[in-house]
Amino acid sequence: MSSQKITVFDFETTGFKENRAVSLGMVVYEDGRKIVEIYQMFRPGAAIEPGAQRVHGIRASDVAMKPTFDQMWPAIRPYLENHLVVAHNAKFDLGVLARECLAYDLDCPPLQTFCTLAYAKQHVTTPTRKHNLATLADYYGIDLSNAHNALDDSRATGELLFKMVQTPIQAEWWSCR
């Protein structure tokens, strides 16, 4: 696994109605070492629902002057192309990415992906039999004191990946079963 370029990412969104990106956290590893962390807030293409705001704490006023997703795409895309792209519940995060690319007519490259949730469901038995990020972080002794912050969730997912998977990872775990 150490020779792969890996990007761990997480989105926070406007909520379930339109589910547009309001923030993105990415942690990039190369040769098994963290090389960069990126946190970006976006002016979303939809209103932030009150329930989503209660979860992640991002208000409309926090993102009113931020760039839109398409404005940041040229800076984001290189960390997805030719990298193994990892997320906890990848189905959700890849759906947000696809929705943003579609909304702005952006060309999203084919991605090699890995879902830590799907992997954990198949290979990890926690005392509570739950596999959400908070439970797994607690199980593996990973700090997740700022859950639902896109960068902190990405950091925790990256640590989780390296603690759970000791051999080269395969892209077949992309879907969250």
Please state the domain extents for the chain.
Answer: 5-174
Class of domain 5-174: alpha beta
Residues of the chain with pLDDT under 50: 1-2, 171-177
Altogether, the residues listed in the chain come to a count of: 177
What pTM, to 2 d.p., does this model score?
Answer: 0.92
What is the Cα gyration radius of the chain?
16
Could you tell me which residues come within 8 angstroms of residue 146 by beta carbon, excluding any fewer than 6 positions away?
152
What are the structure tokens assigned to 156, written together? 């925790």
Looking at residue 3, its pLDDT comes to: 66
d(CA 72, CA 41): 10
Closest CA to 26 of 16, 36, 17: 36
pLDDT of 160-171, one tens digit each? 999 998 755 554
Maximum alpha-carbon separation in the chain: 44
Burial of 143 from C-beta contacts in 10 A (0-12 / 13-18 / 19+): exposed
Please report the pLDDT score of residue 167 as a whole number.
57
